[in-house]
Amino acid sequence: MHFAADAMLGKLTRWLRLSGYDVYYSRSADDEELLNVAQREGRVLLTRDTTLAEKAKKLGTKVVLVESNSIEEQLIQLRRELGLSYEKTPAKALCPECNGEIVEVSKSEVSELVPPGVLEAHEEFYRCSQCGKVYWYGSHWRSITKRVVRIEGKVSSSEK
């Protein structure tokens, strides 16, 4: 599933990309550009703007009106409405910055790009094939994992 997200959903965009979802996002994109991208590329439009959501519906574009400001509630809403699943490791992630593919790389390939303590503490590294940003399974990913588990628990308990 591919998405186009409005400027109010930058944090949600990052989370979706971290789970491997392709998200078109630009803070400078206006409503017309978002609608054009969503229609042309068959993307689901994600927006907090009711006027934009109504316009998209009239054009036959699949749209989700994101209801909450809370990232956790947003992720739960998309899980419920679209059946999305979220990743607990960087293995399938796209770059949260640029939407590029993240590939596993050797320690030696990133030795000059990460702090020495990180290099010593970790064995697996990933790098964005577009912007070059380096990732590893550290405290940030452990926080992501905890949130994903919490979301799964909330969704499961509400389905019972």
Domain ranges of the chain: 2-82
Lowest mean pLDDT among 24-28, 84-88, 112-116: 84-88
CA distances from 7 to 16, 26, 64, 87 (A): 14, 6, 14, 23
Can you spell out the DSSP letters for 62-113? -EEE---S-HHHHHHHHHHHH-----SSGGGPBPTTT-PBEEEE-HHHHTTT
Percentage of residues in the chain having pLDDT higher than 90? 78
CA atoms within 13 A on the CB side of 48: 14
142 vs 157, more confident: 142
| Torsion angle, alpha carbons of 95, 98, 103, 106, to 10 | -90
pLDDT at 149: 87
pLDDT at 87: 83
What distance in Å separates the CA atoms of residue 62 and residue 44, rounded to the nearest whole number?
5
pLDDT, tens digit, for every residue of 116-128?
A: 999 999 999 999 9
Residue 21, amino acid = Y
pLDDT, tens digit, for every residue of 12-54?
A: 999 999 999 999 999 999 999 999 999 999 999 999 999 999 9
Intra-chain end-to-end CA distance of the chain, in Å: 26
pLDDT at 142: 82
In a 3-state reduction of DSSP, which class is residue 28? Answer: coil
Look at the domain 2-82 and name its fold.
Answer: Rossmann fold (3.40.50)
Mean pLDDT of the chain: 92
**pLDDT band with cut points at 50, 70 and 90 for residue 159:** low
| Whether residue 151 has pLDDT greater than 90 | no
DSSP state of 160: -
Contacts of 68 (CB under 8 A, 6+ apart): 74, 77
Lowest mean pLDDT among 33-42, 80-89, 104-113, 148-157: 148-157
Q: Nearest-CA neighbor of 137 among 91, 74, 79?
A: 91
pLDDT at 160: 57
pLDDT, tens digit, for every residue of 136-145?
A: 888 887 888 8
Token pair of 37 as six digits: 């991208």
